[in-house]
Amino acid sequence: MEILAQYGLFLAQALTIVVAILLVAGGLMAIGQRQKSPREGRVEVRHLNERYRRFGNSIRDAVESQAQQKQRAKRQKKAEKAREKAARKAAKAGEEPSGSKPRLYVLSFDGDLKASATEQLREEISALLPQLREGDEVLLRLESPGGLVHGYGLAASQVQRIRDAGVTLTIAVDKVAASGGYMMACVAERIIAAPFAVIGSIGVIAQLPNFHRLLKKHDIDFELLTAGEYKRTLTLFGENTDKGREKFVEDLETTHGLFKDFVGRQRPSLDIDRVATGEIWYGQDAVGMGLVDAIQTSDAFIQERLEETDIYELRFVQRKHWQEKLGMATEDALERSVLKLWQRNRGPHV
């Protein structure tokens, strides 16, 4: 038995080492692929009306009698033939089919620290704008806790392209639009949010460790050579000065001022000094603060428009090499494992 136990321990250790090697190798391959030039992709379009219709039919097939199912199938087939006939007739005349519905296009942005999804959003908007007709609308599902100023500044500029095209833009926040995420959200003509979505955090933060005393303790010299008085204000390894700190804070205040001005121009009814304190609010309180316009989830917004609107979901998809797919899979597996471990050990939570 002792031999079997030792053998089992050996196998567990060997497996741990193999998994660790795969994770590192996969991560390095993914990084290498991401550093290469961008690859061509395609825009995938999904008709959400048809998707929800199939879902509804599946439920009705389970609860209706066969006679009811046959009658429903006949009605749907008849309506489809009428639409096809009207479409052919309008196409010959070079017109829109009579009774054609306005269109709602749904985009998504899932933000990280670097606003990496901006490239995907850029491609989707560039593909969409030439296809828009009068009366069409755009819904952007936005989720982001914020990140780098320049990354989210560009992302907000991409969203502004939709507004500049004269299209009604609604942004839906189901979970979080904070800091740079709210910088993007405030561009919309209308913002909706779930009751417990995190909104706001109109502020600027920067933090960095300093190892100067540790290096000094071990007699390690660090030299930082610059040209320009404020080329580097704070450093990780050198000795920071009060003058450098003051300049760093001054730069933060300047960035915060630009952030406040941007939000104030987009939503002039806001009391910007009241909300630009870096605080966050949940959706139901954010309405009262003027940060969002209504409490509603993106799903509810879409479903209430199904009858009078043709709804299409757009997604730009880049081709990925197998090395990058492997790297992303290992990253996801590691992230899920760490998250499960953290949730298991953090005690009671909501």
Residues 144, 219 share a domain: no
Residue 119 tokens, joined: 């490239």
Q: Could you tell me the CA-to-CA distances from 348 to 131, 186, 335, 340, 344 in Å, in that order? A: 50, 34, 21, 14, 9
Tell me, yes or no, whether 129 lies in a domain.
Answer: yes
Residues 224, 167 share a domain: no
Residues 181, 111 share a domain: yes
Tell me, yes or no, whether 87 lies in a domain.
Answer: no
Residues 298, 193 share a domain: yes
Residues 36, 136 share a domain: yes
Residues 189, 236 share a domain: no
pLDDT, residue 100, reads: 75
Tell me, yes or no, whether 119 lies in a domain.
Answer: yes
Reply yes or no on whether the pLDDT at 129 is more than 90: yes
Which has the higher per-residue pLDDT, 89 or 25? 89
36 noted as active-site residue? no
Catalytic choice (36, 92, 217, 231): 231
Q: By mean pLDDT, which of 71-80, 98-107, 140-149 is the weakest? A: 71-80
H-run or E-run covering 35: none
Q: How far apart are CA 198 and CA 173, in angstroms?
A: 8
Q: Could you tell me the CA-to-CA distances from 96 to 89, 133, 318, 339 in Å, in that order? A: 9, 11, 33, 51
Other CB atoms closer than 10 Å to residue 6's CB: what's the count?
10
Contact predicate 120/158, CB 8 Å: no
Tell me, yes or no, whether 340 lies in a domain.
Answer: yes
Residues 222, 273 share a domain: no
What integer is the mean pLDDT of 154-164?
A: 97
Other CB atoms closer than 10 Å to residue 296's CB: what's the count?
18
Tell me, yes or no, whether 74 lies in a domain.
Answer: no
Q: Could you tell me the CA-to-CA distances from 301 to 48, 76, 171, 232, 298 in Å, in that order? A: 13, 25, 10, 48, 5
Break the chain down into helix, strand, coil percent, rounded to 5.
55, 15, 30
Q: By mean pLDDT, which of 36-45, 202-211, 341-350 is the weakest? A: 341-350
Residues 294, 330 share a domain: yes
What is the total residue count of the chain? 350
Residues 238, 223 share a domain: yes
Q: How far apart are CA 208 and CA 224, in angstroms?
A: 17
- Which range of residues forms the domain containing residue 280? 2-48+103-206+256-345
Residue 27's pLDDT band, with cuts at 50, 70 and 90, is low
Three-state SS at 342 = helix
Tell me, yes or no, whether 43 lies in a domain.
Answer: yes
Catalytic choice (108, 144, 175, 179): 179
Residue 348's pLDDT band, with cuts at 50, 70 and 90, is very low
Q: By mean pLDDT, which of 95-109, 199-213, 266-280 is the weakest? A: 95-109
Tell me, what DSSP letter sits at residue 100? Answer: P
What integer is the mean pLDDT of 102-121?
A: 96
Total count of domains within the chain? 2
Closest CA to 267 of 205, 199, 206: 199
Residues 239, 340 share a domain: no
Give the CATH number of the domain where residue 304 resides: 3.90.226.10
The amino acid present at 197, given as its one-letter code, is A
Tell me, yes or no, whether 94 lies in a domain.
Answer: no
126 noted as active-site residue? no
Tell me, yes or no, whether 275 lies in a domain.
Answer: yes
- 171: Cα separation from own chain's centroid: 11
- 17: Cα separation from own chain's centroid: 34
Tell me, what DSSP letter sits at residue 129? Answer: G
Residues 340, 270 share a domain: yes
Residues 223, 197 share a domain: no
